[in-house]
Structure 1
Amino acid sequence: MLDVKNLSNAILANEISLKRASNREFAKYLAIYRENIWFRDTWEKRIGIVDDSDHYFWLIQRNSCVGGVVLEETSFMSLFTIPPFNDEYILLEKIVKFLIGNSAKNEVINAYGILPSQAEHLLKLGFNPQKSRRCMIRPTEIFDDIQWEDNLKIVRPNNQYITDISKLFFENYDSLGFDGVNTLAEQFESVTRYFRDNSNEKLLNDASSIILDSNNDVIAACLISSWEGVPLVYDLAVSSVYRRSGLATKMLKHSLSTLKEKYDFVRLFVYSGNPAESVYYKLGFFSGTKTTNFCFSMDRKGVLSNST
């Protein structure tokens, strides 16, 4: 098993090697040479994603730094190249071979947050695509055209609704940024975490919506949280019975209007295949670059060994 914490440098192949990077220096290069896919709005936030762990490495070719990568025992992420070097395929191939050569036979190699330009290379190397997602962003704006149906009641978040909201999200799961297995227990944990972390944020609570029908059943919910000091659509769902009634759009318009008091924009994460992505787009949300997670099963070594 690869011991990344004690790895200072390693030869990959073809005059390409790994060299441990200073975290501060790595952060600067990552912020400049890797696309700002999450729309971080300050330099401090962009370099702040690099923590004090031991997983940051330069990629060296003939004594010149040609890129960088975040490396763990059986996974990698955040690969970037430094101009004029631009051969991502050769770097990915050598990184993967290095990880395989230092892993047990039953291990799975994971690649996280892969950009579109790198995805084709990983497919050639025998990787299987998993979840894909993107960040979307929109300026806040005051909407004067929000009209709720008379038979509906709009209330602010209250932990008395945790169970009902969890059930709503579970039964109408569309993968809006929910990074977990869709079970009722997982949704309950996620909603409970939302209330725990955001209950004292009045403006975020005011921007959130829980919609009740005439029987006081929860039929829709839009929860707004904060991520990196900026509003984030934590989760949003509408009961299947009320879909295509405009509730999602109205809840988002309410959020955008309320948040304009203090914030310039709102972000959300959406997984590929979520039909609500068209709702966000029609409301003016701008789509960031899609990233995809990949995995490589060790029983597919033959695919890699036959690659160029």
Structure 2
Amino acid sequence: MQDLNLNYSEDNAAYPLSGDYSLHRADPAEWGVYCSVYYNMAYNGFFKEERFDAPHGSRFWIHQGETRIGGVTMLPNKIYLLFFVPPFRETAQVMKLLRAQLERWSDRTQRIKAFEILPDQAELFARAGFWPDAFRCRWMQRPADRFDVSWDDRFAIESPGIEEDGLGGKRYAKQEEIAACDYASFAGGIDAVRRNQRTLADYAPDDANYTNERLLQGSTLVYDKLTGTLAANCRLCLQDGQAAVYRIGVLPAYRGMGLAGNMLKRALTVLHGAYPLLRLYVMEGNTAESVYLELGFVPGVPEIQTMYIPAENE
């Protein structure tokens, strides 16, 4: 009899889900090809060069007997990038088995979260007992291009620097200033509510290890020359090998001056010739979306930010 109670371990190559179904650890590159085809064609058409083969996470094939019928990325307390291979139809049954496996693996004092839920998957996750997040988000993107960027003389423009953090990683050279700018730009807003960021400490930048020299050149710090205040900042990072906006914020007192648009134009200009496009992730209802649209960013399909199974104490 198969042991359905195997704990999660990087050493386990397979996990039985039931008498008929099982998970088998997958080669990320091969798994990525299947995910690129079957995850969601509208989404994949938007990310047409995406192969979903980044090395992070745990990729699994879903088998029915010896037949490969789908794939998923699963870790304790996390599930994302679920897909099925046609003509398989018993998706609800498999989804319930995946939930049961997650409950066996996970710390149940914490939520089990499902990420990157696309519109055609929401009902499937809901039927398995996942609760929907209130927020809807979507990717936007546009090709890198050259712009003539004109800055008001009251502002000084520079790119952020990187330094060692003493723990084997990296941090921004002006990390405290950047955190204060982000906090003042976002605290109490819709994005802060979504991310549960309520204090200054919640805004300590954690993206310094996900950038490179070209992305740093395309990132921007905008200073008010008169006061020395960091009025706005835009930081770029790598997202599955592509250039993306990690954070862009403008202090309330400096809004309406075109700073967000100028920072994005500067980013697109610096990236031109090195990266084909620039991506950003925006929540529906974020007023900044109009700036992105005016700059030619094209929106992709909406997705639920997360769905989740409540923790045992919720």
Give the TM-score of the pair, scaled to structure 2.
Answer: 0.75
- Paired letter, 2:202: E
2:24 aligned partner: 20
Match of 1:185 among 198, 201, 209: 201
Change (3 A) 1:212 1:104: closer
1 CA distance for matches of 2:181 and 2:215?
20
The structural deviation recorded for 1:98 is 4.7
1:112 aligned partner: 115
1:304 aligned partner: none
The structural deviation recorded for 1:157 is 2.2
Change (3 A) 1:48 1:149: same
Mapped pair 1:79 → 2:82: yes
Mapped pair 1:281 → 2:297: no
Per-residue CA distance 1:149-187 (angstroms, 9 max, x = gap): 2322223324564322210101212649x9674532232
2 CA distance for matches of 1:2 and 1:76?
17
1:305 aligned partner: none
Match of 1:260 among 258, 272, 275: 272
- Paired letter, 1:49: A
The structural deviation recorded for 1:72 is 3.2
Mapped pair 1:66 → 2:69: yes
Change (3 A) 1:101 1:211: closer
Matches within 5 A, 1:1-308: 2-5=6-9, 6=12, 8-12=14-18, 16-23=20-27, 25-35=30-40, 37=43, 42=49, 46=51, 48-50=53-55, 56-60=60-64, 64-100=67-103, 108-130=111-133, 132-144=136-148, 146-158=149-161, 161-173=174-186, 175=191, 181-190=197-206, 193-194=207-208, 198=211, 201=213, 203-213=214-224, 214-289=226-301, 290-297=303-310
1 CA distance for matches of 2:197 and 2:260?
23
The structural deviation recorded for 1:284 is 1.3
The structural deviation recorded for 1:16 is 4.6
What is the DSSP-based 3-state SS (H/G/I as helix, E as strand, rest coil) of the residue aligned with 1:31?
Answer: helix
1 CA distance for matches of 2:105 and 2:241?
40
Per-residue CA distance 1:187-225 (angstroms, 9 max, x = gap): 2242xx52x665x71x43332222122212111111223
CA contact (8 A) 1:127 1:295 kept: yes
1:306 aligned partner: none
Change (3 A) 1:286 1:172: same
Aligned length: 287
Q: Which runs of 4+ in 1 moved over 6 A?
A: 101-105
2 CA distance for matches of 1:268 and 1:112?
17
Structure 1: where are the runs of 5+ without partners?
301-308
CA contact (8 A) 2:223 2:232 kept: yes
CA contact (8 A) 2:15 2:23 kept: yes
More helix by share: 1
2 CA distance for matches of 1:7 and 1:104?
21
Change (3 A) 1:87 1:209: same
CA contact (8 A) 1:57 1:71 kept: no
The structural deviation recorded for 1:35 is 3.7
CA contact (8 A) 1:9 1:17 kept: no
Greater shift, 97-106 or 223-232, is seen at 97-106
1 CA distance for matches of 2:69 and 2:218?
45
Identity of aligned residues (%): 27
CA contact (8 A) 1:89 1:118 kept: no
Change (3 A) 1:48 1:66: closer
Give the TM-score of the pair, scaled to structure 1.
Answer: 0.76
2 CA distance for matches of 1:18 and 1:288?
33
2 CA distance for matches of 1:210 and 1:249?
13
Change (3 A) 1:7 1:109: farther
- Paired letter, 1:212: Y
The structural deviation recorded for 1:91 is 2.6
